[in-house]
Amino acid sequence: MNSLKDSIYANPLGEISAFAFDEKVVSVFPDMIQRSVPGYSTIITAIGLLAKRYAQPHSHCYDLGCSLGAASFSMREQIETENCRIIAVDNSSAMVSGFEKKLRQLPSSIPVDVLCADIRDISIENASVVVLNFTLQFIPIADRLAFLEKINQGLLPGGILILSEKLKFDDDRQNVLQTDMHHLFKKAKGYTDLEISQKRTALENVLIPETFGLHQQRLQQAGFSSAEVWFQYFNFASIIALK
Ligand code: GEK
């Protein structure tokens, strides 16, 4: 996906408003996420491979908080199972329009429905694969359990949830170290200290990370029988949860 270079936080801003997935962010999103999330491309590739293995015939694969559809495109490329439908959902209309535009440019035999909706409000049915790739972190903590219960109930036997999140740690030394390493990663990708610190302020109270332990406990409470990290790069991890 080609996109403009992210320079949203390059100049000093008098007031930093809360981060939103608006037109401005959408226009630079592929560049922003690549340069901000360590391991993003690896995770996207793996989501396709997991879908290839877990997509069941005549079932749905959900991409919740799909943004411009990177995970959906990766699943669509890999799935060989008969009669699968990808259902991609995002509540940013700018993201949904951008995704629909890309879909028109790259047609394929696997249907993709793109819905503009809050993922807490949609029904999940007949699902073999559910992807939450860096989305749950934007859902208020109080809503997370009920939302994961809904996903678990919508999954078929043998279904999986792929949950990628920014993590926090119980030990404060780890928080400091991993946060510093993430900032070094962003600097190596060309972001300045000003960009890093202004973006951090914008995301405060918008992106709420939790520890792996809390995620694992909640997934279990929601009905998943197993949840393990399959990938981690500093404070960014991806979890596979089995129904
Ligand atoms: C990727 N998965 O490229 N309902 C629907 N969408 C939501 C909600 C909600 N309640 N809250 C946030 N979003 C993508 C990347 S980005 C991660 C996901 C990031 C959407 C929001 O509009 C945005 O598009 C996405 O979740 C999070 O694999 O930018 O750090």
Question: Which tens digits make up the pLDDT trace of 140-159?
Answer: 999 999 999 999 999 999 99
Residues with CB under 6 A from ligand 1: 21, 33, 65-67, 70-71, 89-92, 95, 118-120, 133-135, 138-139
Token digits of residue 23: 């037109």
pLDDT for 1: 46
What confidence tens digit (pLDDT) does each residue in 105-122 have?
998 989 999 999 999 999
pLDDT tier at 199, thresholds 50, 70, 90: confident
- Kindly tell me if the per-residue pLDDT of 231 is higher than 70: yes
Report whether 236 contacts 164 (CB < 8 A): yes
Helix, strand, coil fractions of the chain, as percent rounded to 5: 45, 20, 35
Q: Which residue has the tokens 């995301």?
A: 203
Token digits of residue 175: 């928080």
Of the chain, the end-to-end C-alpha distance in Å amounts to: 33
What residue's CA is closest to ligand 1, atom 20?
A: 65
- Kindly tell me if the per-residue pLDDT of 59 is higher than 50: yes
Distance 194 CA to ligand 1 centre (A): 24
DSSP 210: B
- Kindly tell me if the per-residue pLDDT of 170 is higher than 80: yes
**Cα–Cα distances in Å, from 239 out to 31, 99, 204?**
24, 25, 23
